[in-house]
Each structure stands twice: as C-alpha cells, then as structure tokens.
Structure 1
C-alpha cells in the first residue's frame, strides 16, 4: 500500500510511482506511435482510406467507460472487504486477549494463548501470500507444532483448533467458568469467519471471460481511435489518443491490481504491517514493549 502525504497539485501531475505508468507504458507507447503513423499516412491502410468518424467512438467510449467502472467497483469491493476482514481480525484478537486476561485465572497461560493468536495471524498472512506456512513462527508456539504447520495445507485452521483446545483445557481445569468459555468462543468464531472470507477472496477471482472481453475491447478501441480522429483533428491525433489510452489502460491495470488485494503490488493491502500491528497490540496488553510500528520504505510503500 502506498502511504504518503498528498503532494501539491502540480507535483501530483508528474508523480510516477503509484500511477501504474510503468505497467502500461509499452501499450501507451504503441498506441501513440500507431496514431503518429496514421497521421503520416493520412488515415490510409495499405492504400485503402479507412472512412471512420468520431461518432461511433463516442458511443463506444460511453459503453466502455461503464464496463470499466463496473470492473473497478467489483475489484474495489474485493479490496475493501479484505481490509474489513483484517480490521475485524484486530478487533477479535483484542477482545479474546482481554477476556483471557480478565475473565480467567490462567495466569502465565494467557501469554501462551496470546502468542498463539499471533501465530494464527502470521499463518494466515503466509497462506494468503503463498509463503512457507511456518515462516515467522519461532518463539510463538512449540517447535513440534511449527513442524506440523510446515507440512499443513490449511495451517491457520490448525492454529484456530489449538486456540479452542486452550479454552477447553482451562474450562476443564476450572480456570474458566463454562459460561465465560462460551463467550470466548464468539471471537474465536470471528477468527473462523475472517479465515473463510479471506480464502473466498483469494480463491475466487473475477470471471476470466469478463476480463478477456474488456481487455480486447479496450485495446481495439485505442488502436482504431486514430482512424476516427485523423480527419477532424489532424496532428493533434497522437496527443488525444495518448490521453484516452492512458485513461483506459490505467483503469484496467488498476482494477487488475486491486482485484487480488493480498499480493505484493504497491497498491495491495500491507499484510506485513497489519500483522505487526496486531502483534504489537497483543504484546502491549500482556505488558510487554512492542516493536516500533512499520514505516513505508523510500518509495512510500508499506508492505
């Protein structure tokens, strides 16, 4: 995620990082160069005059903008839902740790419980980003459990099971009243909801056919546009084509980037920073000194 102060309006016009210009520059260069060739050829293709006007492009442009708007909205819905799920994970972990600290007599066992929650958050991040399941778990859970997670397909589910077993064991020892143990199952159920919601987003992309249709339409529109403009605006055709192409290519590239919100692209969710934030919050509740908050790198990217 790009985190930076909003630049001055003039500087904002020339910002490169985060504008997706690097992703679409080859396509933009191609369509602008094609427009220049069309101007030099006076709209002729192999000695055949392409008789197009701007009218059909006006109609097509409106329809294409609507389809691109739908794609952007659908992608942003996935992005925002993923962010809400991770926000809920922070809330539920705080609730669960607070209940363990105030409603039980588990003593030092509460620290083990909180560290296991941190392990759940880290394994969830690892699963969503395709990292080794047991990465970053040293010092949080016993070594034999780490070895078990290393070969697990759904590691967060196993950690969630261990959290429930902790509540059950304390209830059987009389360290938690049965009715209070039932209340602690509510945030654990929230953990399960977050896990299922993230898995649903990660495993269900937008329909591929829709992406193909939109991609083809955008490229055909931008490549045909010079033929409809050359007779009316002449030498200004490459400039107008470059502007229209940038708008359509950038919107398509942005929707494609935020469609998978758990990735490592500059505009994806900062799972590492959110994981560190949850860990810091729980450790502070345990009376420990948390690590400093993660800051964006030199390119304003928070991973």
Structure 2
C-alpha cells in the first residue's frame, strides 16, 4: 500500500510512475498514441476515411461509459473498504479476546498467557497467508500443544486454529479457571474471528463477474478506437495528445478498479494485511503481558511504500 500526504501534490506526482499499475497504464496509452498517430497521418496526408461518427452519438456513448465506470469504480472500492473494515474488526476482536483472557487468567499463569498470545497472533498471520499465496508456517509462533503437522495439513489453517482456541476455552472451563459467564463473554469475539475469515474468503473467491468485466473492457476499447474519427476534422494532429489523455483516464479507472477489487493481493494499492496481522501480534502480546522480540514488533511497520 502507498502512504502519501494528501496536501503534497507535487511530491506525490513525482512518484506516480513507481507503481506497477501506472507502468501498465502508460504502456497501453503509448499503444493508443501509436494507433491514433497512424490514423491521423493516414487521414490528413494520404486519404480520407469513409467512417465518420457523429458527435451527438459519440457524446451519448460517453455518457453511458461514464455511468459504467462509476459503477465499476464504486463496486471495486466497496470490496476494498469492506476488506479494510474486516481487518479492523479482526484487530478489535483479537484485542478484546486478549483483554478478557488477561483479566481472567492469574498473573502467574504465564503458560496460558503465552498460549493465547501466540494462538491469536497465529490466527491473524495464518489468515493473511490463506488470503494470499499460502501460509508461511515458518513465520508462525511455536505453540505448545499444537501439532505443526496437523496445522500444515489443514485445508483452512485459520479455521483449524480457531477450533483449537475453542477447545482451549472448554479445557479452562473444566479446570474451573473460566466460569460460564466468562465463556459467554468470550464467545462473541471468538465468533467474530470466524466471521472475519469467512467474509474475507467471500471477497477473494467472488470476483467481478466475467461478463461484466469483459463488457466494460470491450466498451472502453471501442470508444477509444472511435475517438480519432470524431476529433480529426476539428483538431488535426492535436487529436493524438487529446485521445491519449482520454485513454489515460478511461484505462486508468479500469486498471485501478481491477487492482483493488481483490484487496488482499500484493500490488501497490492493495491492503497491507501483513502489517495488520503483525499489528494484531504486537497488540495481543502487550495485552496479555507477554514479551515480544523487537524485530517482530518492527514487522508491524514494514510493508508500506512511502511517498514523501
């Protein structure tokens, strides 16, 4: 994810070319410029095309395209914002669980405190990997009583860890460390962890329908291909930069929407869920009074690209 200072326009503009989506966009805009240059030179220097698009009809197509792009952008941003809201909920639920357990567990119960600090940390870290290319098991905390082979073999590591957490509450209840009222207090926050995981999986596994994505890409392509035939008679060779500017806007909106519709990837405009998972780890260790090495704390500040 890119951090920037909203008021510093010029510094942000100096870094606009550093993201992959902008580089892809500039490449496509250059191709459009080459196409328009060929059409313009052929029209003005060699022969006149029979094809002519009336401005009124072209303006009507532009209105339709703008409505589609607004819907496309809003849909993609809704998925992005929901992903960020879910990870905020995960952080809050983990802190609440850690706070309740920290209040109930005796101060001398260091083993139990360490168990829950590491289990809650592992849930967030496992969810981050589960939503991306796979869980980095070597980065998870070692937890007594949790079989590493069973965790690696699980189809859904976050759910597997959540079930172990639920079993641990029952064991503490049977040992009379937790009372029924404590279980009732813990359950909503534990259930929230599973709901967050399920909702994130829903976002990841439900892309924008292919027919809609194909339709808007086709519409944008046709619109750009027709632009020079509408503008040539009026602007001559200035048609080339004018069409390139229009293509930059249309293609840019589509590419940005395509990038953020899956907010859990590793592209520059996606959510920094690795940092958020490490923020959960720092928070639960601190809440349960369990020390955490400084190099692991530093991971909560790492994966941002900073524009300054």
Assess same fold via TM > 0.5: yes
CA displacement at 1:43 relative to structure 2: 6.7
Matched residue, 2:115: 112
8 Å CA contact 1:96–1:187 kept in 2: the answer is: yes
8 Å CA contact 1:79–1:261 kept in 2: the answer is: yes
* 1:184 matches 2:186: yes
Cα distance change, pair 280–116 in 1 and its aligned pair in 2 (3 A): same
Q: Distance in 1 between matches of 2:229 and 2:59?
A: 13
Matched residue, 1:204: 206
CA displacement at 1:132 relative to structure 2: 3.5
Q: Provide the aligned length of Structure 1 versus Structure 2.
A: 299
Matched residue, 1:58: 59
Matched residue, 2:153: 151
* 1:130 matches 2:136: no
Q: Distance in 1 between matches of 2:206 and 2:46?
A: 43
Q: Distance in 1 between matches of 2:130 and 2:45?
A: 54
CA displacement at 1:262 relative to structure 2: 0.5
Q: Map 1:251-270 onto structure 2 (within 5 A).
A: 251-270=253-272
RMSD after superposition: 2.2
8 Å CA contact 1:28–1:245 kept in 2: the answer is: yes
Q: Distance in 2 between matches of 1:66 and 1:173?
A: 61
Q: Distance in 2 between matches of 1:207 and 1:53?
A: 32
Matched residue, 2:26: 25
Q: Which runs of 5+ in 2 are unaligned?
A: none
Q: Map 1:6-45 onto structure 2 (within 5 A).
A: 6=6, 8-14=8-14, 15-18=16-19, 20-42=21-43
Matched residue, 1:92: 93
Cα distance change, pair 46–160 in 1 and its aligned pair in 2 (3 A): farther
Q: Distance in 1 between matches of 2:178 and 2:67?
A: 56
Partner SS for 2:137: coil
Partner SS for 1:41: helix
Q: Distance in 2 between matches of 1:284 and 1:170?
A: 22
* 1:77 matches 2:83: no
Structure with greater helix percent: 2
Q: Distance in 1 between matches of 2:157 and 2:98?
A: 21
Partner SS for 2:147: helix
Q: Which moved more, 1:116-125 or 1:1-10?
A: 1-10
Matched residue, 1:294: 301
CA displacement at 1:39 relative to structure 2: 1.5
8 Å CA contact 1:44–1:50 kept in 2: the answer is: no
8 Å CA contact 2:43–2:49 kept in 1: the answer is: no
Q: Which runs of 5+ in 1 are unaligned?
A: none
Q: Distance in 2 between matches of 1:158 and 1:100?
A: 20
CA displacement at 1:17 relative to structure 2: 2.3
Partner SS for 1:176: coil
The normalised TM-score by structure 2 is: 0.90
Partner SS for 2:43: coil
Matched residue, 1:271: 273
Q: Which moved more, 1:285-294 or 1:172-181?
A: 285-294
The normalised TM-score by structure 1 is: 0.91
